[in-house]
């Protein structure tokens, strides 16, 4: 069964909304800045969404993560689309799947710095629905009025790619008539210093797949897409989810399988489900974090599975690696090429890693694509590949 993508929107340091992101990609204007996160003196670059600081009226739901979700939900026509579906089908027939890796740990961090004299939470931080791994879906359900099934997926950096697969299965089995899928993650000290402890952060703007790459930059983002069974609507975006693949090789807590076995499985599953050959894929948005190991393994795997002519790029140099929100952010970038006819280049790429042989370049390419793919690979070997196609 094909699944229609009827609306989508993204919010990151590269742009407050999809329109701004398209412009940033076109101008090669990165949203990365030198780290200025309060309480951190790490020498690195981050993708901060400054407008989140203005969303401070969420009451008992207040957290930076929820604020970024609320900010993203107000962009474009997502709110109107979801409201229309609730009116059409009823709130109980619309599902919700959110992806995140930190939920609202930013708020929990702050809470522990402001404990009372007894060492307990102060009243302002007694937020059981916020200090909660399921916080993103709890909040977005509250925000939207959706009362259908809801789920929060936390599989590290593949979290908000997997939301598409779960949403598609719900539609295929008739559990719901429409699904709002999304992802949100925000920068906080636990995240930034945690990745620093793994010696993964770069003191420079990241250079995915470049011979001289020296680490990653972290960012924050939120994104949403609305899914329906193909044929159930007549006002879609012209894009279908035609294939998805998921795997978990559990090779190591943070290092990918050296032969990319789980990643290979997720890509081949997506191709098989879409009934497509590797040569039919016009563009692949790579996971491409700019780490030495991840880029090398993914790049070698792409070379083994796809023709040398398959155009690839990593777009993390625009907004950083947005962790649990990376999946949906890059899924939107990939699927949007089907509407813009522009394949984004790999920003900051100067010299391709000499161990790789890929069709990847820094400049954009104008091409009418029919089928595009995006990869999201997370800690613990959690992998997800999505395949999007033009609607027939």
Q: Which of 288, 329, 80, 380 is nearest to 181 (CA)?
A: 329
Cα(4)–Cα(168) distance, rounded to whole angstroms? Answer: 9
29: tokens are 């204007």
CA count, 13 A, side-chain hemisphere, 312: 30
Residue 128 exposed, middle or buried by CB count within 10 Å (0-12, 13-18, 19+): exposed
Residues annotated as catalytic are: 157, 287, 321
CA count, 13 A, side-chain hemisphere, 107: 29
Cα(166)–Cα(89) distance, rounded to whole angstroms? Answer: 20
Cα(299)–Cα(95) distance, rounded to whole angstroms? Answer: 35
123: tokens are 């009243």
Residue 208 to residues 47, 239, 278, 345, 367, Cα–Cα distance (Å): 15, 27, 23, 11, 22
Q: Which of 331, 320, 315, 328 is nearest to 364 (CA)?
A: 315
Q: Which residues contact 331 (CB under 8 A, 6 or more apart)?
A: 160, 161, 164, 223, 225, 285, 374, 376, 386, 388
Cα(56)–Cα(135) distance, rounded to whole angstroms? Answer: 17
Q: Give, for 142, the enclosing helix (H) or strand (E).
A: helix 135-144
Cα(303)–Cα(309) distance, rounded to whole angstroms? Answer: 10
DSSP 3-state assignment of 36? coil
Q: Are 63 and 130 in contact (CB under 8 A)?
A: yes
356: tokens are 């790789």
Q: Which of 287, 320, 289, 285 is nearest to 13 (CA)?
A: 320
């Amino acid at each position: 069964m094909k699944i229609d993508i009827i609306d989508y929107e993204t919010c990151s340091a590269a742009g407050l909304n999809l329109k701004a992101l398209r412009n940033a990609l076109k101008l090669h204007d990165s949203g990365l800045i030198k780290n200025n996160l309060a309480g951190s003196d790490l020498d690195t670059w981050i993708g901060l969404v400054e407008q989140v600081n203005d969303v401070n009226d969420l009451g008992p739901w207040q957290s930076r993560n929820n604020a970024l979700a609320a900010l993203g939900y107000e962009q474009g026509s997502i709110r109107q689309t979801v409201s229309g579906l609730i009116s059409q089908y009823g709130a109980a027939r619309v599902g919700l799947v959110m992806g995140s890796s930190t939920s609202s740990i930013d708020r929990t961090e702050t809470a522990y710095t402001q404990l009372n004299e007894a060492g307990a939470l102060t009243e302002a931080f007694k937020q059981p629905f916020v200090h909660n791994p399921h916080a993103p879906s709890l909040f977005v359900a509250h925000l939207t009025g959706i009362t259908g099934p809801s789920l929060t997926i936390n599989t590290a950096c593949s979290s908000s790619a997997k939301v598409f697969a779960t949403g598609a299965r719900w539609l295929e089995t008739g559990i719901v008539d429409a699904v709002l899928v999304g992802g949100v993650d925000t920068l906080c000290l636990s995240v930034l210093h945690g990745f620093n402890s793994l010696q993964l952060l770069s003191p420079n703007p990241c250079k995915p797949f470049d011979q001289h790459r020296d680490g990653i930059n972290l960012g924050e983002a939120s994104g949403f897409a609305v899914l329906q069974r193909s044929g159930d609507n007549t006002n879609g975006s012209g894009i279908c989810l035609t294939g998805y693949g998921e795997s978990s090789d559990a090779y190591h807590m943070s290092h990918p399988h050296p032969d990319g076995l789980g990643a290979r499985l997720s890509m081949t599953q997506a191709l098989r489900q879409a009934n497509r050959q590797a040569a039919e894929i016009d563009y692949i948005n790579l996971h491409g974090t700019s780490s030495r190991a991840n880029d090398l393994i993914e790049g070698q795997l792409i070379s083994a599975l796809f023709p040398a002519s398959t155009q690839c790029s990593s777009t993390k140099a625009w907004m950083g690696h947005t962790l649990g929100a990376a999946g949906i952010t890059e899924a939107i970038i990939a699927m949007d090429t089907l509407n813009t006819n522009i394949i984004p280049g790999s920003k900051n790429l100067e010299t391709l890693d000499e161990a790789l042989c890929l069709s990847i370049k820094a400049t954009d390419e104008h091409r009418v694509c029919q089928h595009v793919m995006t990869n999201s690979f997370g800690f613990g070997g959690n992998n997800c590949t999505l395949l999007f196609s033009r609607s027939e």
